[in-house]
């Protein structure tokens, strides 16, 4: 996975950068960590619960066993005031499954994904997901939800994926720079690692976010339109990661628009139009009859055609 | 070069004002940069007006008492921040007009309270501040807030920055999102109260936002941005104090005007650089 040509100089520049990131505040953080350990057990537990519950160095670099990765939802509904985002979703994303969520615009796909990720609280029903409670769930937002002008470098962005190895206040571990390099090489971004994210193209930025996902090493990976407005070669490159994650036993759920892509690569599909139309194997879910029902469920202009090819 | 130094040599109040402005700039650099990074300049502006009614009430009860003004401003500032967090959750789409309505109401309320008890001069003092009237007690307060701010930002910069860039990510990895947001807003209110001592309620946000906005024109990197914002804040303070001394003008507005001029020049210079093909093109 690591690039064979000359990893040494790049590795050095990455570690320089990360050192710089930590250097200014390292003594302070260290003393904060030390004073934390000097605090009583109760205070420590309270601090960890509120600020630092994701710190878990025992899980370093994927040596931890893969946990229960599945998600079960029961009669899940979300409303924003008067407006219903989606309702009555019941079913299971089994461990090590690769599922596409597809449906017309305004069908509640993104809201469903955010609810699974614990970002939106459900109005009714429940989500049962062990990975979420253990902070082993990764969520890739739509690109326009992130501020591309934010002053952070590519290496720093990717390094955040290793959060459980350093948490809020601790020093960065030694192996971090090397694993950042590895993740960046895997997505083909080694040459731009010292750039600011504002300087990346849309495709490069998405690759960087995938590198952060690699670093996160999560049991459940939720992706909101991961291939939107990407060129063909980037899409193909990133598609491979979805299959690889499934092979590794992770649960992958992706919101998509491209029916052809779903038919070709995704074993199972949830067809959503406010309420679930079908949730089964892809060929079964995407039958002509189901697609027609999905389109009828949301009348224009609120709803549109499902996907680009129908 | 003597004219740069002699006012500070001759007058104690000029020295205290300069030290106060430098202390403020040290904290305003990181806080202003973080505010701009979070795209919450408007929210910060509104919070600065939330300090007004509390400070006015403090004035009503105790006159020019540092403790009363500070405590009152701090209380209403924090109360409004908490209130804003609650309403933002229920209906985000109305947020803009809510903020403006709130800012107008609290400004009018504050002015009415001060006018009921005090004179025109008191009103000007609360609205625009008087850098030159900062005494040693106020200076100590400003320096304490500034030190505390720098310590907290240094220790918690990582989660504070991540929380503003990608809050969903921070929650997913168990970084505790809401707690850091609350810490940051508390820091903002604290620093607004500190700035209020010198610049008054109308201008308190100025020394915080303008240097950071100017710094943003020059760099995409966080630490250089913070450092540059601090330096710009100090330069503007020095220039503003000198102008106000020699031209006999109000010092607070002169300092904010100084930052404003630097911001304008930065916009022009950075815009001109962007017209030419820069290193960004060399992908």
Instruction: Domains for chain A: give ranges and CATH numbers.
Output: 1-37+147-217 (3.40.50.300), 71-136+218-297 (3.40.50.300)
List per-residue pLDDT tens for chain A, 310 residues long.
444 444 445 555 555 655 555 565 666 677 777 776 666 666 667 777 667 777 776 655 444 556 667 899 999 999 888 888 899 999 999 998 999 999 888 888 999 999 999 888 899 999 988 888 888 899 999 988 888 888 899 999 999 998 888 888 777 888 889 999 999 999 999 899 888 898 899 999 999 999 999 999 899 999 999 998 899 899 999 999 999 999 988 999 999 988 889 999 999 999 998 888 889 888 888 888 888 888 777 655 454 566 654 3
Measured from the Cβ of residue A195, the count of other Cβ atoms closer than 10 Å reads 18
Shortest distance between the Cα of B91 and any Cα of chain A, in A, equals 9
Q: What is the pLDDT of residue B237?
A: 96
Q: Which fold has domain B2-274?
A: ABC transporter involved in vitamin B12 uptake, BtuC (1.10.3470)
Q: Which two tokens stand for residue B12?
A: 């104690």
Q: What is the pLDDT of residue A1?
A: 42
Size of interface A-B (CB pairs under 8 A): 96
> In Å, what is the CA distance from B14 to each residue of A167, A178, B18, B237?
45, 53, 6, 11
The per-residue pLDDT of chain B, averaged, comes to: 85
Question: Which residues on B lie below 8 Å from A168 (Cβ)?
Answer: 156, 158-159, 175-176, 180
Q: How far apart are CA A147 and CA B235, in angstroms?
A: 30
Contact A196 B159 (CB under 8 A): no
Q: Average the pLDDT over B243-255 and give the result.
A: 92
Q: What is the pLDDT of residue B63?
A: 75
Contact B154 A137 (CB under 8 A): no
Summarize pLDDT for B117-133 with one digit per residue, the tens.
Answer: 888 888 888 888 888 88
- Could you tell me the residue ranges of all domains in chain B? 2-274
The residue in chain B having the minimum alpha-carbon distance to the alpha carbon of residue A29 is B155
Give chain B as a 3 state SS string. Answer: CHHHHHHHHHCHHHHHHHHHHHHHHHHHHHHHHHHHHCCCHHHHHHHHHHHHHHHHHHHHHHCCCHHHHHHHHHHHHHHHHHHHHHHHHHCHHHHHHHHHHHHHHHHHHHHHHHHHHCCHHHHHHHHHCCHHHCCHHHHHHHHHHHHHHHHHHHHHHHHHHHHHHCHHHHHHCCCCHHHHHHHHHHHHHHHHHHHHHHHHHHHCCHHHHHHHHHHHCCCCCHHHHHHHHHHHHHHHHHHHHHHHHHHCCCHHHHHHHHHHHHHHHHHHHHHHHHHCCCHHHCC
Least CB–CB distance from B176: residue in A50, A118, A199: A50
Q: Which residues fall within 8 angstroms of residue B140, CB to CB, at 6 or more apart?
A: none
Q: What is the pLDDT of residue B276?
A: 44
* B71 at A interface, C-beta within 8 A: no
Contact B221 A196 (CB under 8 A): yes
Q: Is it the case that residue B84 has pLDDT exceeding 90?
A: no
pTM of the predicted structure, to 2 decimals: 0.82
The residue in chain A having the minimum alpha-carbon distance to the alpha carbon of residue B151 is A28
Least CB–CB distance from B172: residue in A81, A137, A169: A137
Which is higher by pLDDT, B157 or A24?
A: B157
């Amino acid at each position: 996975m690591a690039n064979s040509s000359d990893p040494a100089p790049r590795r050095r520049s990455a570690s320089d950068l990360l050192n710089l990131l930590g250097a200014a505040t390292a003594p302070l953080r260290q003393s904060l960590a030390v004073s934390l350990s000097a605090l009583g057990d109760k205070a420590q537990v309270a601090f960890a619960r509120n600020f630092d519950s994701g710190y878990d160095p025992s899980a370093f670099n994927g040596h931890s066993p893969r946990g229960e990765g599945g998600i079960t939802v029961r009669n899940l509904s979300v409303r924003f005031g008067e407006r219903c985002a989606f309702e009555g979703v019941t079913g299971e994303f089994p461990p090590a499954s690769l599922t596409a969520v597809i449906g017309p615009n305004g069908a509640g796909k993104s809201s469903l994904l955010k609810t699974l990720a614990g970002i939106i609280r459900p109005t009714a029903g429940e989500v049962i997901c062990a990975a979420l409670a253990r902070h082993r769930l990764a969520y890739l937002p739509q690109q326009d939800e992130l501020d591309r002008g934010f002053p952070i470098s590519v290496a720093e962005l990717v390094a955040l994926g290793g959060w459980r190895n350093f948490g809020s206040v601790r020093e960065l571990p030694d192996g971090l720079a090397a694993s950042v390099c590895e993740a960046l090489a895997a997505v083909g971004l080694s040459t731009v690692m010292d750039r600011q994210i504002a300087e990346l193209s849309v495709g490069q930025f998405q690759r960087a976010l995938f590198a952060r996902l690699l670093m996160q090493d999560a049991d459940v990976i939720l992706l909101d339109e991961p291939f939107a407005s990407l060129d063909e070669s980037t899409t193909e490159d990133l598609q491979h990661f979805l299959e690889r994650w499934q092979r590794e036993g992770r649960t992958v759920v992706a919101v998509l628009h491209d029916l052809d892509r779903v038919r070709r690569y995704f074993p199972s599909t949830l067809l959503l139009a406010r309420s679930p139309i079908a949730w089964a194997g892809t060929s079964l879910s995407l039958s002509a009859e189901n697609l027609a029902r999905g389109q009828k469920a949301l009348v224009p202009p609120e709803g549109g055609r499902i996907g680009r090819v129908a | 070069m003597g004219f740069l130094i002699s006012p500070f040599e001759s007058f104690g109040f000029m020295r205290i004002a300069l030290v106060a402005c430098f202390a403020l700039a040290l904290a305003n650099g990181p806080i202003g940069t973080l505010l701009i990074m979070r795209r919450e300049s408007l929210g910060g502006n509104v919070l600065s007006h939330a300090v007004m009614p509390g400070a006015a009430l403090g004035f009503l009860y105790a006159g020019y008492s540092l403790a009363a003004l500070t405590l009152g401003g701090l209380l209403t500032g924090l109360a409004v921040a908490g209130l804003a967090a609650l309403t933002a959750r229920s209906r985000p789409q109305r947020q803009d007009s809510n903020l403006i309505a709130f800012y107008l109401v609290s400004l009018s309320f504050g002015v009415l309270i001060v006018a009921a008890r005090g004179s025109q001069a008191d009103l000007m003092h609360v609205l625009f501040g008087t850098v030159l009237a900062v005494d040693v007690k106020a200076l100590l307060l400003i320096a304490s807030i500034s030190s505390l701010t720098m310590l907290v930002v240094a220790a918690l910069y990582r989660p504070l920055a991540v929380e503003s860039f990608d809050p969903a990510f921070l929650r997913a990895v168990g970084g505790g999102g809401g707690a850091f947001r609350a810490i940051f807003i508390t820091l903002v209110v604290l620093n607004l109260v500190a700035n209020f001592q010198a610049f008054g309620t109308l201008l308190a946000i100025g020394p915080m936002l303008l240097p950071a906005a100017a710094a943003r024109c020059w760099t995409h990197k966080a630490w250089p941005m913070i450092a540059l914002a601090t330096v710009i804040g100090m330069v503007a303070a020095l220039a503003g104090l000198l102008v106000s001394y020699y031209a006999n003008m109000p010092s607070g507005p002169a300092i904010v005007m100084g930052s404003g001029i630097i911001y304008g020049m930065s916009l022009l210079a950075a815009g001109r650089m962007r017209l030419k093909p820069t290193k960004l093109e060399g992908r």
